[in-house]
Amino acid sequence: MDIKQRIANKTALFAGVADEEVLGWLETPPSPDKGDIALPCFKLARSLRKAPPAIAVELAAEFAGFEGIVKAEPAGGYLNFFLDRGDEAKKTVLRVLREGMDFGSSKEGAGRNVCIDFSSINICKPFGVHHITTTVLGHSLARIFRHLGFTPVRINHLGDWGTQFGKMLVAYKKWGDREKIESAASPTRELVALYVRFHQEAENDPSLDDEARAAFRSIELHDPENWELYQWFKELTLKEAERVYKLLGVEFDSYNGEAFYEDKMPAVIKELQDKGVTTVDNGMTIVDLSAYDMPPCLILKSNGGTIYPTRDITAAIYRKNTYDFYKNLYVVAYQQNLHFRQVFKTLELMGYDWAKDCVHVNFGMISMQDMTFSTRKGNAIYLEDVLNKAIEKTKAIMQEKSPDLENADEVARQIGVGAVVWGPLYSSRIKDFTFSWDKALNFEGETAPYAQYTHARCCSVLRKAGGYDIEKADWSCLDNESCASLIKAVASLPDSVASAAEKYEPYLISRNVIEICSCFNKFYFENRIMDEDEGVKTARLALTDAARTAIKLGLYLVGIEAPERM
């Protein structure tokens, strides 16, 4: 049993209160010289009918000789516990070494599916740098939930339906060149250029819009030629997106996007009408949400066409029927807050009590410090370009720092990618975020390269030591400040993982990783790991090993790789 729990049990028994209550009162003293755990005794004043300082003195006597505690010291109204640090260190290190990459994992989610709708790119549009947050957050959440025993269902809800595909078709038929598009390094850039041209020309020639409407209608009717072209647009976009996903190590279980729900919507629209959830307003079918202070949720346009919310309502029902999800997450920017509130409310009005299990995991905006976005002009910043640039820059830095590194290309990819994805993973997701090259590629600051570097340092220490025999460890030597802080940082990783899952906030893990890294580096500079004393050396190596595993695991859970040398 964990030491806090044991302190709580004993105190509860003594004072005649509930142990969970005592557990909640335990604090961390303001500084390490005041001990490791503090009990505010005024909480017990009522049940014991005594002044807090007197209680502290009495309780201190009770804890004399208590296992795992070297000292219980009254300090005014507080009782401060000094843990047996060597013992704490031993327990934590052995646990990490035993559990390895399963450290802090659980079976909590066994048999439960968690749908995660993330990345969800749009066909024929740039895979822009603004897609980074949804992509890396969703990827990380999938890993976190899997660690806790859940089965994540990773869904790329493609934006592959709508009148824009009619425009695309018209533009391609008028000005497109199949060979040029197919042989281009980035076919979507060619498609986007055609799309931009369509809008330019349509300004002077409104008949183009009629053509586009007719073209989309023909896609809806699966006209063989146009359907084939539409599928080809999809293939081109996805093939290019795969390159980005591969760089990032991101995978999906389903690419069912908006088009997938086309034939499933009529039944849902009928259900909405039969249940009396919708009304007709100016020829449009809507869900009146004025009672909930929201504008109406549009279901059918006046021409009978379906739209974005119609497809999301249908998709949610499909996901419930297919995966019987425990949670259904949407990792989408906060600009769509209203959309998801409307969709979830509509599901609730349809009588689906599982609407409460649908969660919009929203996040803030990303901007680039050294570049400006201008999608209007068609010069969006492509995520692939940013990643490749980061990899190039990393390669240049590495050629200077470690010119003899084997598999330098692979390591440069791991570090370059880590540097780029770190930003949105290191702050509460709702915060807006500005990307800067200097910050991202800094090996000293609170960055992914810094964590990766610390991990590689642990690996190097262990490699040079050439192994150790854990039986020989003298745990009592791990009782100084720097050891204790490192142990504490490592031991808190499971709690960080649990909180990250509960709040859908991977940054709680990233912060813990950085804490482990800075503690490790302090430990590394203040303690001679290769001590002459075998017991001391072994204990320090084992602690290094535990730190290595915890860093690697933490990085893995936020989707970042940890090379052994760099």
Q: Taking the complex as a whole, how short is the minimal distance between the CB of residue 233 and ligand ARG, in angstroms?
A: 15
- Pair of tokens at residue 121: 């790119």
Q: Taking the complex as a whole, how short is the minimal distance between the CB of residue 415 and ligand ARG, in angstroms?
A: 29
Positive or negative, the CA dihedral 343, 349, 350, 355 is: positive
Q: Is 80 in the site for ligand ARG (CB under 6 A)?
A: no
Task: For residues 509 and 109, give the distance between their C-alpha atoms in angstroms, rounded to a whole number.
Answer: 19
Q: Taking the complex as a whole, how short is the minimal distance between the CB of residue 485 and ligand ARG, in angstroms?
A: 42
Q: Binder to ligand ARG among 216, 252, 260, 330 (CB under 6 A)?
A: 330
Q: Is 159 in the site for ligand ARG (CB under 6 A)?
A: yes
Q: Binder to ligand ARG among 11, 92, 113, 120 (CB under 6 A)?
A: 120
- What three-state secondary structure class fits 515? helix
Residue nearer to ligand ARG on the CB measure, 122 or 510: 122
Max alpha carbon distance in the chain (Å)? 91
CA dist 493 → 158, 165, 425, 497, 513 (Å): 34, 47, 16, 6, 8
Q: Binder to ligand ARG among 88, 117, 357, 545 (CB under 6 A)?
A: 117
Q: Is 260 in the site for ligand ARG (CB under 6 A)?
A: no
Stretch that binds ligand ARG, among 34-42, 116-124, 356-364, 534-542 (CB under 6 A): 116-124
Q: Taking the complex as a whole, how short is the minimal distance between the CB of residue 424 and ligand ARG, in angstroms?
A: 16
Q: Taking the complex as a whole, how short is the minimal distance between the CB of residue 316 and ligand ARG, in angstroms?
A: 8
Question: Within 292-321, which residues bind ligand ARG (CB under 6 A)?
Answer: 312
Secondary structure (H, E, C), 394-413: HHHHHHHHCCCCCCHHHHHH
Question: Within 499-558, which residues bind ligand ARG (CB under 6 A)?
Answer: none
Residue nearer to ligand ARG on the CB measure, 326 or 443: 326
Q: Taking the complex as a whole, how short is the minimal distance between the CB of residue 330 and ligand ARG, in angstroms?
A: 6
Task: For residues 490 and 458, give the distance between their C-alpha atoms in angstroms, rounded to a whole number.
Answer: 14
Residue nearer to ligand ARG on the CB measure, 309 or 554: 309
Beta pairing, strands 69-75 & 358-361: unpaired
Amino acid at position 410, single letter: E
Q: Which residue blocks in 159-223 are alpha helix, DSSP H?
A: 164-175, 178-183, 187-204, 207-220
Residue nearer to ligand ARG on the CB measure, 122 or 346: 122
49: left (phi over 0), alpha (psi -120 to 50) or beta: left
Amino acid at position 418, single letter: G
Stretch that binds ligand ARG, among 115-123, 418-426, 487-495, 547-555 (CB under 6 A): 115-123
Q: Is 122 in the site for ligand ARG (CB under 6 A)?
A: yes
CA dist 340 → 117, 141, 285, 310, 484 (Å): 13, 19, 18, 12, 45
Q: Taking the complex as a whole, how short is the minimal distance between the CB of residue 332 and ligand ARG, in angstroms?
A: 5
Task: Give 3-state DSSP helix, strand, coil % of the chain, rounded to 5.
Answer: 60, 10, 30
Q: Taking the complex as a whole, how short is the minimal distance between the CB of residue 191 and ligand ARG, in angstroms?
A: 16
Stretch that binds ligand ARG, among 114-122, 241-249, 280-288, 417-425 (CB under 6 A): 114-122
Q: Binder to ligand ARG among 332, 361, 516, 517 (CB under 6 A)?
A: 332
- What three-state secondary structure class fits 72? strand
Helices (H) and strands (E) in the chain, counts: 22, 12
Burial of 183 (0-12, 13-18, 19+ CB in 10 A): exposed
Q: Taking the complex as a whole, how short is the minimal distance between the CB of residue 49 and ligand ARG, in angstroms?
A: 60
Write out the residues near ligand ARG by the rule CB under 6 A: 117, 120, 122, 157, 159, 312, 330, 332
